[in-house]
Amino acid sequence: MISQDRFVETAGLVVARLAGSRLPPATLRCFNRWSMALTLSLTTGACVRLPCPPPATLRSPVAANAPLPPVYPNGTPYRSTDEPQVMVWLIADNLHTAMVFPYDWLLASGFVPPAGLGNPPYVTLSWGDRTAYIQHQWLGPWQVARALFSPTPSVMEIIPINGYVANVCQQQRVWRKLVPREQGPQVAAFLNHVSRTGPDGRPLVIGPSSWGDGFLLDSKYSYYLPRICNVWTAQAMEACGCKVHPLSGLTADGLIRQAEAAVNGFECVWLGDGTIIPPLEETASPAAAPGT
């Protein structure tokens, strides 16, 4: 098998000849990395996914900074945590997707949160290019090219949600689904595996979230095409027990089509334009408490 260094060298020579002139070193390195990532992903599929975590086992719940409050912010009591199913959400704009989970479920399943997150009913999580999250504005053309075609640092964002998901994320399209409670350790293992950790075992925080009162967590894995934000979401859905093909979910709409398939059963409850879709019958899950 050809070595990685030889592959990069060969790819660079091909790019230089196609360009018809000597490329600047920085540009050549960018093309080298893009060529390697694209070729490996198309031939093996290995570079599409984030590396899988070790097999999940139920760990002792991680204590948050304070005990869970006895009621939701509007006074509705928390529901039993012994119900066999919990509600999870998929949220999306035209390009980007994220997941929302009941926070107490994640903690009970072994998720290790950053310090200072509090005790919200839910948290939304997503993953992507670090620069795109940090600068809080649209990327320039060169930044977009670099993010897609050259491996770049990434972050996982976690934001507390203290209200009903569709009310908080009104500009997003929202889907929801009941998943078996026993999938919790798989979800927690995936989320824990994405972030770098400090000496205390908690994820490393590199800054505030792009909105809300959350955090950006330093991620172990590079961002590039085809390993983009929606691939992370696809793998989070797989941890919930869904059947998803990441390469068919590179776009938000491609992932949503898979989420809505009968085998996965995500139900749209909010279209982001003021249109309310009749929801599922309320369940005894904490995430389905009315009016929260």
Q: Identify whether residues 169 and 274 lie together within a single domain.
A: yes
* Buried b / exposed e along 163-197 (16+ C-beta atoms within 10 A): bbbbebbeebbbbbbbbebebbbbbbbbbbebbee
Q: What pLDDT is attached to residue 133?
A: 83
Residues 232 and 164 in one domain: yes
123 and 13, same structural domain? no
The answer to whether residue 167 is domain-embedded is: yes
Determine, yes or no, domain membership for 51: no
- DSSP state string for the chain: ---HHHHHHHHHHHHHHHHTSPPPHHHHHHHHHHHHHHHHHHHHSTTTSPPPPSPP-PPPPPP-SSPPPSB-TTSPBPPPTT-SEEEEEEEE-SS-EEEEEEHHHHHHTT--PPTT----SEEEEEEEEHHHHHS-SPPPHHHHHHHHHS-B-EEEEEEEE-S-HHHHTTTSEEEEEEEEGGGHHHHHHHHHHHB-B-TTSSBPEEEE-SSTT-EEEEBSS-B-SSS-HHHHHHHHHHHTT----GGGGSSHHHHHHHHHSTTT--EEEE-SSSPBPPPPPP-SSGGG-TT-
| Pair of tokens at residue 275 | 């249109």
Residues 114 and 15 in one domain: no
Q: How many domains does the chain have?
A: 2
The pTM for the full model equals: 0.71
36 with 93, same domain?
A: no
pLDDT tens, the chain, 292 aa long: 333 334 334 444 444 444 444 545 555 555 455 444 444 444 344 467 777 776 654 444 444 444 444 444 444 444 445 689 999 999 999 989 999 999 999 999 999 999 999 999 999 999 998 888 887 665 567 656 665 666 889 999 999 999 889 888 888 999 999 999 999 999 999 999 999 999 999 999 999 999 999 999 999 998 888 888 999 999 999 999 999 998 888 899 999 999 999 999 999 999 887 666 665 444 334 444 434 3
182/239 same-domain check = yes
Name residues whose C-beta falls within 8 Å of residue 251's C-beta, 6 or more positions apart in sequence. 95, 230
**75 found inside a domain:** no
* Whole-number pLDDT of residue 150: 66
Q: Does 38 share its domain with 93?
A: no
Q: Which two tokens stand for residue 263?
A: 């085998």
| 33/100 same-domain check | no
- Does 63 map to a domain? no
Domain containing 153 equals: 85-288
Same domain, 10 and 126: no
The answer to whether residues 185 and 40 belong to one domain is no
User: Is the domain of 148 the same as that of 269?
Assistant: yes
Could you tell me if residue 70 is inside a domain?
no
21 plus 130 within the same structural domain: no
Flag whether 52 is in a domain. no
Strands in 173-180's sheet, in edge-to-edge order, are: 205-208, 215-218, 154-161, 122-129, 97-102, 85-92, 173-180, 267-270
Q: What does the pLDDT read at residue 215?
A: 98
